[in-house]
Amino acid sequence: MSHALIIADIEGITGIFSWDDIENDVKLYTQEIEVYIEALLRHGVNKITVCDSHNAGDLIDPKITKMGANIRLFSKMDSIPHDEKYDFALLVGFHGMSGSWGILSHSMRFDIKEVAIVDPKSGLHIPIGEVELTTRWLGSYDIPVILVTGDREAAYEANLFNPYRHTCCVKSLLQTDLYDISKLYDKLFYNLYCSLQLDKKLCLSPDDNEIVVKFHNPDITQALADKGYTKKDDQLLFKNCADLFNKLYPITSYLNELNKEIRNVNMAFLHEVRKLVKTLKKEDLAESDIGHLLKKNLFFLDAASREKIIDKIRALIG
């Protein structure tokens, strides 16, 4: 019995370009997962495990499990059971990494600036997104990824380190013409069929590089280092993608609390800054380094920047 693992995300789903209509986005999410399940069943794959990896993992309608006798749905990647064999995996609905020309692009979380692998020969840091992170994590469990679907940037990244596996681009940030979604579903159906013909061993990704994670706010890096995570320079260091994924959900839980504290501190700080700058002209403030620093996201303003702002305000006030 062939067993497929589908790891799904919502940002790269066909027809989703924004969060303006989340109800419709969720409908499109489930609808596309049904396309993959139908295609797999039609091509003889009769055991399918689906993981909704987006945030809490509660957006895919459980009705998909009624499409076949051996279809399961799990929330979040840490709940995927690894006590049984998966013959291959599909990454569906994936998006580009932070800073890319992707649609709703990011790297894991809004507060993460960059995730990169460390090249052992040169020491260079090569940025990667969730596509490469996930393929390497699955590789650590000996699960090959045969197909990656999503926006243009996700498809590009899926072939960056492994040009053999199949990809299917369903949308682009530069797209201007409307399209018939059913035609793209036909494309997904065909690409899945093609991916099933591949030598799956060649789609397996090694997980043998160190990973560094850089946050927008350096105070977060230090706080995590104080918690016992490994810090190197201004980044967190992990042995490989499996090491990062194994620690991801505890880190995420701590980050959510930490970000609340950072936001409250910065809100109080900005309140004090407004009192201090009342005697200054707005244009003088805007054209100074202070204006640039104050444009930072409330979650990204760190202690060193706050200190610099206060020093410069005092210098302006005299």
pLDDT digits 0-9 by tens, 226-260:
999 999 989 999 999 999 999 998 999 999 999 99
Residue 286 confidence class, pLDDT cut points 50, 70, 90: low
Global pTM?
Answer: 0.90
What is the C-alpha separation between 241 and 296, in angstroms, rounded?
30
Per-residue confidence (pLDDT) for residue 270, from 0 to 100: 80
**Length of the chain measured in residues:** 318
Domains and CATH numbers, the chain: 3-110+128-203 (3.40.50.10780), 210-317 (no CATH)
Query: Which pLDDT value is given to residue 26?
Result: 96
Per-residue 3-state assignment (H helix, E strand, C coil) for the chain: CCEEEEEECCCCCCCCCCCCCHHHHHHHHHHHHHHHHHHHHHCCCCEEEEEECCCCCCCCCHHHHHHCCCEEEEECHHHCCCCCCCCEEEEEEECCCCCCCCCCCCECECCEEEEEEECCCCCCEEEECHHHHHHHHHHCCCCCEEEEEEEHHHHHHHHHCCCCCEEEEEECCCCCCCCCHHHHHHHHHHHHHHHHCCCHHHHCCCCCCEEEEEECCHHHHHHHHHCCCCEECCEEEECCHHHHHHHHHHHHHHHHHHHHHHHHHHHHHHHHHHHHHHHCCHHHHHHCHHHHHHCCCCCCCCHHHHHHHHHHHHHHHC
> In this structure, what token pair is assigned to residue 212?
């560094």
- If pLDDT is split at 50, 70 and 90, which confidence band does 274 have? confident
- Start-to-end CA distance of the chain, whole Å, equals 77
Residue 292 pLDDT greater than 70, yes or no: no
Over residues 7-34, mean pLDDT? 96
Tell me which long-range contacts 254-261 makes (C-beta under 8 A, separation of at least 24): 254/224, 254/227, 255/109, 255/111, 255/220, 258/220, 258/223, 259/111, 259/220, 259/299
d(Cα 227, Cα 148) in Å, to the nearest integer? 35
Q: Which residue has the tokens 């946050």?
A: 215
